[in-house]
Amino acid sequence: MPADALQPFGPVAEAQDALWDLAYPIAIGVFVLVFAGLAYILVRFRDKGQEELPVQTHGNTRLEIVWTIIPALILVVIAIPTVQTIFDLAREPDPDSLIIDVVGKQYWWEFRYEEAGIWTASELHIPTGRDIYIRLDGSEPGNTTVYGQPPVMHSFWVPSLAGKRDYVPGAIREMRIQADEPGVYPGNCAEFCGLSHANMRFTVIAHSPEDYEAWVASQQEPALLAQDELVQQGQELFVSGACIGCHNITGHPDVDPDAPSRVGPDLTHFAAREAFAGYIFDSPFGEQVEDPDQAMENLRAWIRNSSAIKPGSHMPATQVDGAPVDGEQLDAIIAYLATLE
Amino acid sequence: MTAIAENPSTGTLPRRRGIFPRPTKTTGALSWLTTVDHKKIGIMYGIGALIFFVVGGLEALLIRAQLATPNGEVLSADLYNQVFTMHGLTMIFFVVMPLGAAFINYLLPLQLGARDVAFPRINAVSLWIWVVAGLFVYSSFFFEGAPNGSWVSYFPQALVGPDPAGNLASDAVAIQQSRMLFYSMGLQIAGVASLASAVNFVTTVLNMRAPGMTLMRMPVFSWMSFVTAFLLLFAMPVIGIALWQMMFQIRFAGPFFDPLNGGDPVLWEHMFWLFGHPEVYIMILPAFGIVSEILPVFSRKPLFGYSAIVFSGIAIGFLGWGVWAHHMFTAGLGPVADSAFGIATMLIAVPTGIKIFNWLGTMWGGQIRFTTPMLFAIGLVSMFTIGGLSGVTHSLVPHDTQQHDTYYVVAHFHYVLFGGALFGLFGGIYFWFPKAFGRLLNERIGKLHFWSMLIGFNLTFAPMHLLGLNGMPRRYYTYADGMGWNFWNAVVSIGSLVIALSFAIFVINIIVSRNNPPAGADPWDARSVEWLTSSPPPVHNFDDIPVISDNDELWYRKYASTSDEDAPVRVAAGGSDDENPGGPYGDRVSGKTAKELGIHMPDPSWFPLLLSLGLPIAAYGVFFEDRITMTAFFAVGGILTFGSMLGWALEPSAEEDH
Amino acid sequence: MSTVDAAEHGAADHGHATNLGMSNEKLGMWTFIGSECLFFGAMIATYLLYLNRTNGGLTAFDVFDIPFTSASTFILLMSSLGMVLALDALHKRDMRGFQTWTLATAVMGMVFLAGQKYEFAFFVEEGFKLETSPFSVSFFMLTGFHGIHVTVGVVMLVILWALSLRGGITADKHTETVELVGLYWHFVDIVWIVIFTVIYLIPVG
């Protein structure tokens, strides 16, 4: 689905687009008027080598007043609906609004469903037809500090559903989105945030209300314990490779359910996502993956040394017992990840 | 120092010696380093700005090479961030602003009928400080790299190192500190130059006008320079404080903008844009002034609605202070602030519209000659209209949240600053080149330059509107295939090459035109008094200060009849011709030197150059952790700067018995 | 002639009337002071914004010694009187009086600076440093930049005084130079009244 600000798929984007639809024809009208007038003047009053000089007009007060007042009136026409829309979109959440907390990390988005008790990364699942109240929560910047450096600003933008709003460390910002139809709506970060600003994408996936409930239920399931040997090995490597220091997997035997780490994305349902690494690479486990072999290759490269394929990635190169992760270990880790449906 | 006559009093004190003899040479290469002549200073501003234009243009070409195709691999992400940041800083602080300053410097005294600006040596200081600021910022490439936080350098991003995982975190922090110190200190130094210029120009306009030149008889370019100077005067201290705060934050961990220690990163946005929006008008108003000079000359009519254009310029200057938060509509300031700043933004369209309509009114009923400067002026009127209209769409606050930080905005401000400011400034170069250098630029090559630039410009920036609305954010070093952005990005990159070609044509024009026949005092049949004196003007500008009785003083010396109803009649032997370049009306220049005429002009001085050299030396001190080294740099730089000030204050005049 | 600012002495000295009837130097100084208002305004605004952001560190109540600063404020304000008397002495061609009052003004400025230095050192010892909180860094920046302005003024006064000892200052030629220094000095004092009010007198909670 195209990410086009002029093709809204929900009431918020529609309200914003309505202002454009009002102002754009006026702007085009003024444009045509000025350019046609200019063209006429340039042709009509070009120097034809005449002897006599033109009349030295200094101005015309009546005209001045006219072209001061008419633009001002036009502006009133667009100002009124603009202010109305500003206040309408800034209203408090409705009682049945779904409130989702969003945190911008470097360089991926975390989505927290407080009510359902689930956390996702880079995939924002929402029910259709319901007001989604987004709280961009930077209120506890200390909790998202990495390498001792402060978290930075991002901007949350899904062109098809709503204009953007900044994620501000140290503050909470709100916005709302709503999708009318089930679908996949691409989004991205729109505030310059560092090396991989361009690689900080995400997707809003709108489900029918029933499908959404089913999705929530599936997300609330913990990960399965390893059933075969390779997966078992991967599950152990997740600890010895220090992945567990940043990534939470609910249901993993070594994860303390009371203190799950939130530094990296929650991987409890990793294999259910369509993409990884800030949604720039197709996941080999996704349903819509175009080239599974390439996707698998990317995932292996990612686990080996993520910053080699995504500049500035905060995930360190994976090491097991002080040595870079080897091919067999990668097989095991990926086999384990594949079970995280 | 604008002395007209010799000071009659003789010294009662023993003559104080300067540190070294005061330079007296007014010709030769060295004289350019010591000159206090506003015309030479203006020319140096212009040449410097055009050199930086080449550098900033090459950076733009690198950006476009990287983005010409999806997943481009010309630049790394780190290098791309540095290049696009430097492109912005260069074009704003080292191209458009100084090109405006070049025209103000060169023309303001000439248009006011003055011999120089109010403070000629401070003028030279402004130039040299600006030069060293540019060199200082670019020296960053020899250290840890150039600033990489975009020209707005929002916090906390400005604190975060480029590659925390690849390096030890402390390395990344040190790299980032170095880069952002180049930003904060470099712009701080450039700001000193602007502030000094502002004081100088305000004083010049208020105090140095020729007899009879009331404020409402000033040429519009002088008026717009005046408004620009006021904007600089009040905007520079604001960014100055913000940059000091940035320096304290980066260097001394003073938590102004660090959210981990209670600082508010949004404060930086407010401070930056409180400066940043007036800055936009600082860049565009001189170009508006230039166009207001060119259009009447080549329409052979006075400016339509002179006072409306002047007052709309003042109105733009005032309103420019009330719209800064329209750069922050996505920052979540709340509906009241969003509405207020949205409406204020709409209001700016009114005075801007007045200007456009009055320019059209100027051409209406005229005899339009399509010379190169006129083409560029028409280019500004038309291209700026597009930029202005897209600017109005930004005031639709809810929809602006769709446009913000996308290529739509990039398109908008390039239509304003390139299609507006730069077209005007290039028009000004073609218009006043014969005044400054005595020779016209080649018209045919000039027209080729204009058309290639117009085509290249639209090819480059028009598609960006579409890219932005199709969801392409700015400041992306790469984009994936399949986003629907490939085609227009390729077009944009081709367009940028056409712009590069057009600039090459301009350079060729300057080279080709060096042997053109002398242009004479008034080659365009112009209207204001700078065309009264010879081309190029003598050091003292005018042998006799002209007495002003009309807005279009020169025109009414050439043509009889001033009533609105009658067509004017040429005064006998008026106008410009080859045998009588000055014409009877313009016989203001005898060819004698100022000294022969008994006019005291300011002496050249080494101190402005020396003074400016101290600033970057002191600024380099900030980079050292070690307090002793830091203090040593401060001391050397400080002694150079303050010593020069003292030397300056005590500097003897070159003339023996003055 | 070549003493302070002689070379910049513009049109007014040379018989060319300026449009405003005010010399370029004086107009330029007023213009510059206009710009300085925003310089200090930006810092005062920041200080007010961060008044209560103390990060749990020391607050204004904990650190400021209002009687001490009031005393140094009084001395700085009195120095403005000294400046007026110095200029008045010059008008009366009383060079001894001029020297005395110029020096007295400079010394009062130095006493103020010494007080500030003592205050800063005391604060740092108490753990109130640049990096402590947005409040502390705003305080240091605002008062520190004011201190730098006072220092520049003191240097100018001392130079005037030193020149006058050698006979380099005369009522005929340099009244305006002294007036310019005086303008600057009064501005720096007036700004301090605002700063003192904002920092020390506005109650903080």
Test mutation, A48, A74, A86, A280, chain B, max B CBs within 10 A: A86
Tell me, yes or no, whether chains B and C touch by having 3 or more C-beta pairs under 8 A: yes
| Residue at token pair 């909470």 | A172
Q: How many CB pairs below 8 A link B and C? A: 164
Q: Chain B residues with CB inside 8 Å of C15's CB?
A: 4-5
CB contact burial C65-90 (16+ within 10 A = b; e otherwise):
eeeebeebbebbbbbbebbebbbebb
pLDDT digits (tens, 9 = 90+) for A238-262: 999 889 988 999 888 888 877 777 7
- Minimal Cα distance from C22: which residue of B? B207
Q: Tokens for A151, please give them.
A: 């978290």
State the DSSP code for B305.
T
Q: Chain A residues with CB inside 8 Å of B300's CB?
A: 47, 53-54
For every residue of B115-141, DSSP letters joined together read SS-S-HHHHHHHHHHHHHHHHHHHGGG
| Among candidates B353, B403, B564 on the partner chain, residue whose Cβ is nearest the Cβ of A58 | B564
**How many Å lie between the alpha carbon of B601 and the closest alpha carbon of chain C?**
11
For every residue of chain C, DSSP letters joined together read --STTTTT--GGGGT---TTSS-HHHHHHHHHHHHHHHHHHHHHHHHHHTTT--TTS--HHHH--HHHHHHHHHHHHHHHHHHHHHHHHHHTT-HHHHHHHHHHHHHHHHHHHHHHHHHHHHHHHTT--TTT-HHHHHHHHHHHHHHHHHHHHHHHHHHHHHHHHTT---HHHHHHHHHHHHHHHHHHHHHHHHHHIIIIIS---
**How many Å lie between the alpha carbon of B347 and the closest alpha carbon of chain A?**
7
Interchain CB distance below 8 Å, A16 and B354: no
| Among candidates B378, B483, B568 on the partner chain, residue whose Cβ is nearest the Cβ of A53 | B568
Q: What pLDDT score was predicted for residue B649? A: 81
Q: What pLDDT score was predicted for residue C12? A: 37
What is the distance between the alpha carbons of residues A137 and B260, in angstroms, rounded to a whole number?
14
Tell me, yes or no, whether chains A and C touch by having 3 or more C-beta pairs under 8 A: no
Q: Which residues, in sequence order, are bridge partners of residue A323?
A: A320
Interchain CB distance below 8 Å, B259 and A141: yes
Q: What pLDDT score was predicted for residue B571? A: 65
- Minimal Cα distance from B16: which residue of C? C2
Interchain CB distance below 8 Å, C27 and B653: no
- Where is pLDDT greater, at C197 or C18? C197
| Among candidates A45, A53, A307 on the partner chain, residue whose Cβ is nearest the Cβ of B567 | A53
Compute the 3-state secondary structure of chain B and give helix, strand, coil in percent, each to the nearest 5.
Answer: 65, 0, 35
B38: contact with C, CB 8 A cutoff: no
Q: Chain A residues with CB inside 8 Å of B369's CB?
A: 47
What is the distance between the alpha carbons of residues B366 and C154, in angstroms, rounded to a whole number?
61
Interchain CB distance below 8 Å, A30 and B263: no
Partners of chain C (3+ Cβ pairs below 8 A): B
Locate all alpha helices (DSSP H) within B16-146, ordered by sequence: 29-34, 38-67, 77-89, 97-112, 120-138
Q: What pLDDT score was predicted for residue B595? A: 80
Q: What pLDDT score was predicted for residue B567? A: 67
**How many Å lie between the alpha carbon of A272 and the closest alpha carbon of chain B?**
23
Q: Chain A residues with CB inside 8 Å of B361's CB?
A: 59-60, 63
Interchain CB distance below 8 Å, B476 and A197: yes
Interchain CB distance below 8 Å, A83 and B342: yes
Partners of chain B (3+ Cβ pairs below 8 A): A, C
Q: Specify the amino acid at residue A10.
A: G
Q: Chain A residues with CB inside 8 Å of B332's CB?
A: 136, 165-166, 168, 171, 173-175
Show which of residues 512-551 on chain B sit within 8 Å of chain C, judged by CB atoms: none
CB B469 within 8 A of CB B399: no
CB contact burial B200-225 (16+ within 10 A = b; e otherwise):
bbbbbbbbbbbeebeeebbbbbbbbb
- Minimal Cα distance from B196: which residue of C? C32
Interchain CB distance below 8 Å, B4 and C11: yes
**How many Å lie between the alpha carbon of B296 and the closest alpha carbon of chain A?**
10
What is the distance between the alpha carbons of residues A96 and A93, in angstroms, rounded to a whole number?
8
Q: What pLDDT score was predicted for residue C139? A: 94
B315: contact with A, CB 8 A cutoff: no
The sign one gets for the Cα dihedral B394, B395, B397, B399 is negative
Q: Chain C residues with CB inside 8 Å of B4's CB?
A: 11, 14-16
From the list A28, A31, A218, the residue with the least C-alpha distance to A120 is: A218
From the list B80, B79, B83, the residue with the least C-alpha distance to B55 is: B83
Show which of residues 246-285 on chain B sit within 8 Å of chain C, judged by CB atoms: 248, 252-256, 261-264, 267, 271
| Residue at token pair 């399949």 | B482
Q: Chain C residues with CB inside 8 Å of B199's CB?
A: 28, 31-32, 35
| Among candidates A59, A82, A313 on the partner chain, residue whose Cβ is nearest the Cβ of B396 | A82
Show which of residues 62-121 on chain C sit within 8 Å of chain B, judged by CB atoms: none
B116: contact with C, CB 8 A cutoff: no
Average pLDDT in chain A: 92
Test mutation, B328, B358, B402, B405, chain A, max A CBs within 10 A: B402
- Minimal Cα distance from B331: which residue of A? A166
Q: Chain A residues with CB inside 8 Å of B305's CB?
A: 58-60, 63-64
| Among candidates A2, A54, A60 on the partner chain, residue whose Cβ is nearest the Cβ of B366 | A54
CB C184 within 8 A of CB C156: yes
Q: Tokens for A340, please give them.
A: 């995280």
Tell whether omega for the bond before B147 is within 30 degrees of 0, i.e. cis.
no
Please give the average pLDDT of every successive group of 10 residues along chain B, which has 658 residues.
Answer: 37 46 72 93 97 97 97 94 97 97 97 94 96 97 93 92 64 88 96 96 95 94 97 96 96 93 94 95 96 96 94 95 94 95 95 95 95 97 96 95 96 96 97 95 97 97 96 94 93 97 97 91 91 90 88 84 65 46 54 81 90 96 92 95 87 53
| Among candidates B157, B159, B397 on the partner chain, residue whose Cβ is nearest the Cβ of A86 | B397
- From the centroid of its chain, how far is CA A90? 20
Q: Chain C residues with CB inside 8 Å of B119's CB?
A: 8, 10, 24, 28
C35: contact with B, CB 8 A cutoff: yes
Q: What pLDDT score was predicted for residue B639? A: 94
**Run of H or E residues at A201:** strand A201-207
Test mutation, B396, B472, B553, B558, chain A, max A CBs within 10 A: B396
What is the distance between the alpha carbons of residues A48 and A41, in angstroms, rounded to a whole number?
13
Interchain CB distance below 8 Å, A163 and B342: no
CB contact burial C177-201 (16+ within 10 A = b; e otherwise):
bbbbbbbbbbbbbebbeebbebbee
